[in-house]
Structure formats: structure tokens, C-alpha cells
Structure 1
Amino acid sequence: MIASGLTDLALDVPRTAAKLSLHALRWTMGLTPHRRPAGDIEWAWLESGAADGEPLVLLHGFSGSKDNWLLYAPLMAGCYRVICPDLPGFGDSTRDADNDHGIAAQVARLAAFLDALGIARCHLGGNSLGGYVALAFALEYPERLLSLSLFNNAGVNGPERSDLQQKMARGENPLQLHSRRDLDRILALVIHRPPYIPLLVKYLVLAEHRRYGALLNRIFGQIIGDALERPLDDRLGELDIPTIIFWGEQDQLLHVSAATFQNERIAGSELVVFEDVGHVPMIERPWATAQHHRDFLARAIVSQTESAAA
């Protein structure tokens, strides 16, 4: 008890300093924080761009947060109302260990969140777990989407599995985080060429995992259960929404073969594979990814306008 209390106290000052720095960076990047209840969830999100622009909702990956889009969102905000929420169980949204955090539950909550914001239709994108939720949402509520953007999404099994996927299938969790050494190891798995990350940021990440580690492990188990028991492979042919798939060729978490697999089965989908990029192209290659993304959305809008006119 005493050791735990001293550890929390030691992390408190750097945690506060890191959060202040993060708030300043959000302000600099033109991202405004918001909060609103929807159903049983208090949602937190960042927003940027014109309030009357077409909504572009971007979902983060497992153990991430809305700040995963900090560099990317401003690059898309010129034409769109960019909304980056914390999924329930992560970041500053409701984190309740008694809640169901399976994919179906998250999809239903996302629909309630969009309803609360008065968004009938939107462009939806997601990375990793967020991509899994986005893809499942597209299959459940296709009428609510203008387009779908997948960034190294989970939920689909390609013909090949990464070493990490094989370990996960055996019930192992190589993403457990207990120390700075674990954090550096995980960053090397996620990002092909990890950049320098200030110690303050690392302290913040460690403090969050120390506080919510048990919840994250529970959520991880639910996600893996869904991925193994209810993968979306056989439903990809149902999609009739403009779709783009981004992938990093050096992704060590989800094998790049899943990108080609989806591209072949989603009619009319586009595929962009980046060399020397890992699991998070919007962080590792934000400008190039955003350029492809903006071009794709512009084509999707033109296509929809022509279809409506016909």
C-alpha cells in the first residue's frame, strides 16, 4: 500500500505536466475538447474544422485515445468537421469495468453518440480497434455512412498472420504494459521507426496504464474473443460504401495481407500501402496519408452527387 502510494505520488507531478503540455498542443493544433452524455456513456472528443462541414469521425486503436489523431485531424479540417472521440473504456470517456466493451456494444454506443451530436450521416474512419468498430458499424448501419476509411484495421484475418496475431490466438497478450522498457518495446512493435518521445509523455502513458491496466486487459480479452469468434471476413462483400484501406507494409501487429484480402472483397475499394510504415500510418506518415484521404473523400462526394442526380 505504501509503495503503491509513493509510486502514484512520484507519477503525479509528471502526469500533471504532461497533461498541461497536451492541452497546449491541442490548442496549438486547433482542436477543441468537448464532452456530452449519450446513453450510459459520457463521451469526450476533440473537434476541428467548420461546424457546418461534412462530419468526418475518426476512431483510435486499443489503449489509444482521441489524441492519436492530433497531428492528422488538422490536415483534414479544411473541408470537414473532424470529430475524434475517445471510445468508451479509453481516454476521458466513461471507463467502467462492468460495461460490455465488445464490438457490438461499441457499435451501438457509436450510433448513440452520433445521434447525440445530431449527425445523421458521416464519413467514418478508424485505426486498428477503431477500424474494427468502424467496419462493423458500416455493416450494421450502412445508411448512416458517406464513406469508410480503414487504417490497419482489426477484425479481418488475412491469409497470413503476424507473430503477434499467433500469440494472441494462443491467449497471450504481448501488449501488456508495466514499465518504460515495456513501453519502448510496444512502440517498436507499433511504429516502424519510433520517433523520440519526451519522458513526460511516457510518464503519462505509464500512469494511465497503472490506473486502468485491469480494465484494459478485460477489454483486450473481449476484443480478441470477438476477432476469433466473429471475424468480419465473410461479410466484406456486403459493403456498398466508398471505402479506402490504408496499411503500413511493416505492420508487426496485423499482417499486411489483410489489406489485400479486404481490397479484393470490398467492391470498388481503394488500397494504399506505405513502405517503411508500421501500424499507425496517420502518425507515421500523416501528410501523405491525409493527401490520399482528402482525394478519396473528394471522389466519394462527387460519386454520391452523381448517383443522387441520376
Structure 2
Amino acid sequence: MNKLFATLIRSLTIILLALVTTRAEPFLGAPCVIEVESKQVGKGSIEYMKAGSGMPVVLLHGLFAQKEQWSEVACELSSAGFMVISPDLPGYGKSIDFPDEDYRLENQVALLHRFTNSLGLYEIHIAGSSMGGAIASMYANQYPDQALTLAFIGAPLGIGPWGTRVQEALAQGINPFIPINMDQFNLEMELLFYEPPLVPEAIKDQLLSDYRGSNRHYQQVWDIVNLYTSQISNSSPARIPTLILWGKQDQIFSVSDSGALQLKYLGNQHYIVPKAAHLLMLEKPKEVSQKYIEFLRQR
């Protein structure tokens, strides 16, 4: 992945974190210390956050995102007695120097398995958001002796079609995840958040300039990941305890598809989170963490 692409993802995430977390509720428990480390895996290096000690919980981000989106959830989980590992998935954030073929989700799973083994994590709880949810479900299927539980923190890629507004934009030749003008950027924010953060115009301009500069690479990644829109629905479910959290106002994947996910993972625990859209870990970090901690403590 080129450095401009990595810089763009990092800049956008930091901005969104700053804007959203100023309105977020305080962390649970004690202050949190997050360490950032890296591991050589395959042809590249995976950078990851580590917080706390105890039973390991692995948190996976979504498409065009990175590990820092989990910062608040990681702190709350670590305060509750868990060790949180949140990597930049291969090719995203600061986990660079991976070939394009590694964007394929089955390759992400294989690299993630090598990564967890390199850390000596032979039993884990695994959770993901959006694309990360699809990867987490594939991981739990492929490595059932390692994955103790599975959690979808927000709607996952692979159980239903793109939301209506996403489909409408794509039909018009607009990819709302790769904006190239101000209207498209605003659309992306409206789709991702229940209450879109106010991004200063100057920052929007810089981000759009970077989006346009890396547009070809973004499109290549999109073309790969978009192949997996039926991944979960067409696969066998992991037969482990499963938590499903879905934002009621999610416009990336409609809440109407949450029932299909519940039927796929029988015996699951599920909650529809009100006044929340796609990025639950940013909009509702306290509520998400409380539900997840309750779920984990039952295991």
C-alpha cells in the first residue's frame, strides 16, 4: 500500500476520533495505557495497539479504517480485566508493504492467524466492525479451537446488500467511501454517523485532495473487498457464542438485515443500538463496551 493512502486513512481517523470523542462519555474505570507495537508477518509488518492484561480480545476495524477507532473500547475492556489487541489489518493504517493480493479477506484471515500465533495468543475472543466483522467470522470458522467467542460490533459486511443510499450512489457512479468532492464527502459522513461530526472545511479540502491522489489504489481495494458482500450469508456459521450489536440508524447495512444474522448464529445475544449508525465504537463506546463486557463475563 502506498504511503499517501496510509496517511489519508490515519488523518481521517484521527480527525473523526477527535471530533466524536469530545462528545463521548468518559472511559469506564481507571485511565488506560495503550502500547503500540509491531510484528513482521508475511511480506509486511503489522502495527497493533495493546491495552491491559488478562484474556485476550482481538478487535478488527473495517474498510479504509484503522486500529485507533477502537481506542475507547480498548480502554474500557482493559479496565474490566481483558487484554485488548487491535491491529491495523494488512494494508491499512501503518501495516504497510503488503501486496494487493493480501486485501483478499481469506488472506487477511491467514495473516491474522500468523500474527496472533506470533504473539502467543492461542485462545482469543474476536470481534469486528463492518469488513472486520466478516474477517472475524471467517477467522472463527477457520480456527474454531482458537476463537472462543465472536462479536459483531456494528453491522458486518457479508450478510446483506449495501444500504439503499449506498446502492443509489453506486448506481450513479459515485462511491461514497471514496469521495472526490465536497458533496460526496458529506454523504460519506451522513452514511457513517447518526450525528455526523463537524469537519472544518480546510480539513475536508486536504482530505479530498488526498482521496483524489490515491483514488486508483482505493478503487483497486474496493474492487477486491466488494467481492465479499455475501461472505457470511453463504458460509457456515461459527458454532460459538456470538454477540450481535447493530446501529438502528445504520445506512451502510440496513438494520432489517440483522434478523438474517441472528438466524445464522443461533443462540446469539443481540441488541439494536438506538441513535447510532455504522461506527458503533465511535458513537457509542460506553454502551458497546458494557454490552460486550457483560457478554464476555458469561463465558
Distance 1:198 1:171 in 2: 26
The alignment status of 1:267 with 2:270, answered yes or no, reads: no
Identical-pair percentage: 26
**Total equivalences in the alignment:** 276
Q: Which of residues 37, 50, 54 in structure 2 aligns to 1:47?
A: 50
Q: Which of residues 35, 38, 52 in structure 2 aligns to 1:35?
A: 38
- Give the TM-score normalised by the residue count of structure 1: 0.79
Q: Report SS of the residue matched to 1:126.
A: strand
Stretches of structure 2 lacking an aligned partner (at least 5 in a row):
23-30
Question: Does the CA-based 8 Å contact 2:246-2:271 persist in structure 1?
Answer: yes
The code of the aligned residue for 2:254 comes to H
Stretches of structure 1 lacking an aligned partner (at least 5 in a row):
1-7, 301-310
Distance 1:60 1:104 in 2: 16
Moved more, 173-182 or 86-95: 173-182
Q: Report SS of the residue matched to 1:42.
A: strand
Cα-to-partner distance string for 1:264-290 (whole Å, 9 max, x where unaligned): 221211111011110011111111111
5 Å matches for 1:133-212? 133-151=135-153, 152-157=155-160, 161-165=163-167, 173-197=175-199, 205-206=207-208, 209=211, 212=214
Q: Report SS of the residue matched to 2:152.
A: strand
Question: Does the CA-based 8 Å contact 2:178-2:211 persist in structure 1?
Answer: no
CA deviation after TM superposition for structure 1 residue 199, in Å: 6.7
The code of the aligned residue for 1:72 comes to V
The residue aligned with 1:106 is: 108
The residue aligned with 2:27 is: none
The code of the aligned residue for 1:296 comes to F
Report the aligned-residue RMSD.
3.0
5 Å matches for 1:74-153? 74-78=75-79, 79-96=81-98, 98-151=100-153, 152-153=155-156
The residue aligned with 1:248 is: 247
Question: Does the CA-based 8 Å contact 1:29-1:70 persist in structure 2?
Answer: no
CA distance 1:134–1:211, shift in 2 (3 Å)? farther
Distance 2:195 2:184 in 1: 17
CA deviation after TM superposition for structure 1 residue 71, in Å: 2.1
Moved more, 203-212 or 280-289: 203-212
Distance 1:185 1:49 in 2: 37
CA deviation after TM superposition for structure 1 residue 156, in Å: 1.1
The code of the aligned residue for 2:56 comes to P
Q: Find the structure with the greater CA-based Rg.
A: 1
CA deviation after TM superposition for structure 1 residue 246, in Å: 0.6
Question: Does the CA-based 8 Å contact 1:55-1:81 persist in structure 2?
Answer: yes
Distance 1:34 1:148 in 2: 24
5 Å matches for 1:221-236? 221-227=223-229, 231-236=231-236
Q: Report SS of the residue matched to 2:235.
A: helix
CA distance 1:199–1:33, shift in 2 (3 Å)? farther
The residue aligned with 1:60 is: 61
The residue aligned with 1:308 is: none
More helix by share: 1
CA distance 1:211–1:263, shift in 2 (3 Å)? same
CA deviation after TM superposition for structure 1 residue 214, in Å: 2.6
Distance 1:200 1:88 in 2: 30
- Give the TM-score normalised by the residue count of structure 2: 0.82
Distance 1:96 1:122 in 2: 25
CA distance 1:172–1:102, shift in 2 (3 Å)? farther
CA distance 1:285–1:87, shift in 2 (3 Å)? same
Q: Report SS of the residue matched to 2:298.
A: helix
CA deviation after TM superposition for structure 1 residue 95, in Å: 4.5
Distance 2:32 2:47 in 1: 17
Distance 2:205 2:33 in 1: 25
CA distance 1:204–1:289, shift in 2 (3 Å)? farther
The code of the aligned residue for 1:220 comes to W
Question: Does the CA-based 8 Å contact 1:97-1:215 persist in structure 2?
Answer: no
Distance 2:127 2:95 in 1: 19
CA distance 1:209–1:48, shift in 2 (3 Å)? farther
CA deviation after TM superposition for structure 1 residue 182, in Å: 3.3
